Structure formats: C-alpha cells, structure tokens
Amino acid sequence: MVDVAEVVGRRELNKLATRQALLDAANSLFSVRGYAATTVREIADRAGVTERTFFRYFAGKEELLVEDLVAQMPVIIESIKARPDEEPPLVAVERAIVKLIELALDRHEPNAVSLFLDRRPVSGLGRSAASLTLKFEEAMASALGDRLARLDPAPVDIEFRAAVYGRTAVAVLRSALIHDLQLRSIGTEPRPPLAGLIHEAFAVASEAWDPGVVSTPSVQ
C-alpha cells in the first residue's frame, strides 16, 4: 500500500530541490555574466529543467534576484550586529557592508553581495523591488535595534530610533549604488570602487546633520 504522506513528502522535497537548483543556477550566472545578460533559458538549462518548469516556480528572473537578496539578508544583518559596540549605528552598517563586499571580491563568491558588484541597471522589478526595500529596511532596523538595546539597558523610543537608522542606512546604500550606475552609464573612467562610493555616501549623510563629522573609511 502506498504511503500517501510519504509520496507528498517526496514531492515537496523535489519541489524545494528544484527551486533551490534554479536559485543556485541564477547566482552562478548572475555573478559571471551579470543580471542583464542572463536569460531564463540559460538559468533553466543550468538547473537541468525546462523553461516551462522555471515558470512554475518564478514569474521571471527578477524574482530570483529578489529572493536571493532576501535569503542573504541574515548574513548582512549578523555582520552589522557583530560590529564593535563603540561604532555608531550608521558607521557599523557602512563598515559591515564594505567588509562583505571586500570578502566577496577576494573569494569570488556568487552571493547577494557579489550581485551588488554587477552594478548594472535592473529593470522590471516593480513591486518586487519595493517589497525588497521594505524588507531590507525592516532587517536593518532589527539589527540596529539589537545594537541599541545592547548598549542601553533602558533605551528611549528604541523602535523608532532603530527604524530611522535602518531607513537612512538603506537610502544611503541605494544612493551609492545608483551613483555607481550613473557613472557606468556615461562611461566614466576610471571609476571609484563601490566601497569608496559607499564611504563617500555615508560621509555625505553624516555632514547633512553635522558638517563637522566626516566618515572614516577604515574597515577593521
């Protein structure tokens, strides 16, 4: 007699395996060829499935990109939490992100951070991009709230402060990435490294509320 529960279990495991294979294939191709140059057919071929199967799991390749970034957020968040306590919130974000970018470059890892290094315009994300931004802001706020609570046993308005810091950090990072895209689109050479643009963006943000504050680019 066939165990229905076992059959359903195997079916669900196969679905999860196929979904992960598509994500892994996309990661590999995006990191080598870039998002724009990679097609759905190439992703499906790399994963060993048909294009029809691909569209059973994802509406398009943009969903693969968003899902991968969401899946990698815990790495970014834990890196922020692990920064030294004496670093102000936005400094901790800046140095954590730059450190991850440098590690991705050194190891040539096809992860979410290396997707940032593609730095080419990604069109068609629409609502997925807005949802990703909100999730990133919430994750940032959570990480920074954890730091604030650790430093102050009785913080005042910790959720509000963490939310402001989180949204500000995401806006600063997006500004650096957008500026890098603009430099690439007009063919600026030589271009400053992405890490340098991130340092500069956080420095500009610091000057907005205190002209005497200048962000330090050192990463420890």
User: Where are the CATH 1.10.357.10 domain residues in the chain?
Assistant: 60-220
Shortest CA distance to 206 belongs to which of 73, 81, 87, 75?
Answer: 87
CB atoms within 10 A of CB 10: 11
Terminal Cα-to-Cα distance of the chain (whole angstroms): 62
Q: Which of 27-31, 141-145, 156-160 has the lowest mean pLDDT?
A: 27-31
Of residues 121 and 19, the one with the higher pLDDT is 19
Identify the weakest region by mean pLDDT among 31-40, 126-135, 194-203.
126-135
Q: Mean pLDDT over residues 54-62, rounded?
A: 85
2, pLDDT greater than 50 = no
* Statement: residue 131 has pLDDT above 80: no
Fold classification of 1-58 is: Arc Repressor Mutant, subunit A (1.10.10)
Task: With beta carbons less than 8 A apart as the criterion, state whether 61 and 43 touch.
Answer: yes
Give me the DSSP letters along 11-36.
Answer: HHHHHHHHHHHHHHHHHHHHHHH-TT
Q: Predicted confidence band at 156 (pLDDT cuts at 50, 70, 90)?
A: confident
CATH homologous superfamily for the domain 60-220: Tetracycline Repressor, domain 2 (1.10.357.10)
